[in-house]
Amino acid sequence: MEIPCDEIDRQLFNASTTITIGDGSKAHFWQSAWLEGQAPKDLAPNLFASSKKKRLSVRVAIQDNSWVRNIRIPLLTSQQHFVEFVNLWTRLQSVELPYQNRLWTADRLERRGWPNQKKCPLCRHTDESALYLFVQCRYTGRLWTELGASVPAAAANMASWDTSATMRSLLLLISWEIWNERNGRIFRHKESSLLTLLAKIKEEARAWRLARAKCLSELWPGD
């Protein structure tokens, strides 16, 4: 039997406890404070409200991005949904789970005593982590701003997206190009300007569309 409690009780519990994930089968993905001491529903309240399955375990939600597939498409009507999606998705890349593939950013290499460049190679200003690289970096932040201006669907037509396909494809494409830019600066000592990287992303989107990723045709129609 579930213990009766209201939202204030849950918030007090989350604020005063630390969640140990283990294999992720017990903790609730949305409602447990397992993500950097916060519950995902508090980090992304609009996405939580749009989710069809609010009691997924962490393990089930993370595997194959089930949490994405369970978002109700018609309710994704604002740019805030997109911002929350990017922020939550990126934070998930920063969490060490035994069943999740993760990026070898400088913070992970540092914890293992392995050689690393320490600073984010895109801005050279702050220590690198997955969250910083993809969301908080000044270079990446300007890129997301430019993409928001150049992707009409992000601001105006989001409700028409096939969310499971379009949002995942968009994030995968942009994140892949950010990661390639990061690696190019570290290993090949080559840098792209913001506009050059934006052009690369749009060019890659065209290539994906030719490879039958039709969902991306909604993002840059006519390009």
- Tens-place pLDDT, residues 70-98: 887 555 556 677 778 878 887 887 666 65
Sign of CA dihedral 170, 175, 181, 184: negative
CA gap 146, 129 in Å, rounded: 22
Q: Could you read off the pLDDT of 21-34 as tens digits, one per residue? A: 666 778 899 999 98
Domain boundaries, the chain: 1-75, 103-223
- Is pTM, for the whole model, over 0.75? no
Structure tokens at 152: 């009409």
Residue 79 has a pLDDT of 66
pLDDT at site 157: 47
Q: How far apart are CA 68 and CA 54, in angstroms?
A: 12
The token duo for 201 is 């992303």
The answer, yes or no, to whether residue 44 has pLDDT greater than 60, is: yes
8-state DSSP, 132: I
Indicate the SS3 state at residue 127.
strand
Write down the pLDDT at residue 19: 53
